[in-house]
Structure formats: C-alpha cells, structure tokens
C-alpha cells in the first residue's frame, strides 16, 4: 500500500469528517448523532495497516481533531493512538468483513477513545457525568456508519483482505484456511 496515499486519505477523511460534523451540528442535529469519521479511519487502519506507520496515521488524525477543537493539543491524539493499538492487537482474530463484528468493535472503540480523552482532559469526572449520553449516542451512530464507510475507504485506498494479510507478513492462503 502506498504510504503517501494513506497519509492523504487520513488528512482528507479527518478534515472532511470534521466539516460534515460541524455542518450537521449547525443545522440542528444533536452532538450525539454526529459520527466520528476520523475515528472510523483509525479503526480501518488498525485492521489493515498494523505497523508503526499506522500509529503515526492514528496520531495525525487525533492531532487534526485536537487542532479543530481549539482546546488542549494532544488528548485526542493520545486517545486515537491507544485505540489504534488496542484494535491492532486483536485485529488478526476479528473477521472485519462481517458487519456485526465491525459494528461491535466500533462501539467499543468509540466508548474507549472518549473515555481515554476524558481521562486525559482537564476535568474528567465532571465531563464524564455530563456527557455520557452524548458519548453513547456517538458510539452507536459511528458504529452504524462503519459498514457503509469501510467499503468506501477500501475503494479509495484500493485495499482488500489479501493486502491486509500481506501487510502483516502472513500468507495469502490463510484467507482460505
């Protein structure tokens, strides 16, 4: 897989996702129903690019979200890197082509990344108790968008399950057996 293409898609998806999110909030949609597109890209690369370059891409997506928030620089980047690491550790054992497993992993990862973000931020307990409904809503909204978003990313990056296995150093025959 071309590293430059991965980098450009990471920047594009992060900025486009933030633009779509702010546009949806501006027209009156509650924050709980705005999906996290940058986090979806982190989920995608944790399944298909399990390497140090994937960690850099997760950090870059988090940094773009941090810059757009206008607050502390780094909490989202740290949360995205930890989320990337958690999923990439178990990604060999999960069948990502299944919509159910993708939805389940995305729900858990969104809850995990928001919890890590709140623990790193300034006043975690106050924010956790006041924003827990928003976090749960975002996790379900993001999870239900994931099965639609993954084929689009695979098309943009010209990626397949065979490429994922080869990137991890496995055999193509492990798809069959």
Query: Which of 58-62, 69-73, 86-90 has the least mean pLDDT?
Result: 69-73
Quick: pLDDT tens for 113-161. 988 888 888 776 677 677 888 889 999 999 999 999 888 888 888 865 5
Domain 3-174: give its CATH code: 1.10.1760
At 143 the pLDDT is 93
Residue 165's CB is within 10 A of a number of other CB atoms, namely 17
Closest CA to 146 of 38, 11, 14, 57: 38
pLDDT at 8: 86
Q: Other CB atoms closer than 10 Å to residue 158's CB: what's the count?
A: 10
Query: Helix H segments across the chain?
Result: 3-26, 37-48, 52-69, 75-90, 99-120, 124-157, 161-167
pLDDT at 145: 92
pTM of this structure = 0.83
pLDDT 10s digits, 22-44: 888 888 888 889 899 999 999 99
| pLDDT of amino acid 1 | 57
87 touches 105 (CB < 8 A): yes
Is residue 151 within 8 A of residue 119, CB to CB? The reply is no
pLDDT band at 64 (very low <50, low <70, confident <90, very high): very high
The per-residue DSSP string of 8-37 comes to: HHHHHHHHHHHHHHHHHHHTT--GGGS--H
| CB contact at 8 A, 138 and 65 | no
């Amino acid at each position: 897989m071309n590293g430059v293409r991965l980098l450009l898609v990471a920047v594009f998806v992060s900025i486009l996702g933030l633009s779509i999110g702010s546009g949806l909030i501006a027209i009156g949609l509650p924050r709980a129903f705005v999906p996290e597109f940058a986090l979806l890209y982190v989920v995608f690369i944790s399944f298909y690019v399990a390497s140090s370059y994937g960690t850099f891409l997760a950090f870059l997506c988090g940094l773009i979200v941090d810059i757009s928030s206008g607050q502390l620089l780094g909490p989202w980047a740290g949360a995205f890197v930890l989320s990337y690491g958690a999923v990439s550790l178990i990604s060999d054992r999960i069948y990502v082509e299944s919509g159910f497993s993708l939805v389940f992993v995305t729900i858990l990862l969104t809850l995990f990344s928001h919890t890590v973000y709140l623990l790193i931020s300034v006043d975690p307990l106050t924010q956790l108790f006041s924003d827990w409904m928003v976090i749960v809503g975002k996790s379900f909204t993001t999870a239900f968008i994931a099965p639609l978003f993954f084929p689009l990313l695979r098309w943009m990056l010209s990626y397949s399950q065979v490429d994922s296995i080869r990137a991890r150093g496995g055999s193509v025959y492990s798809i069959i057996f």
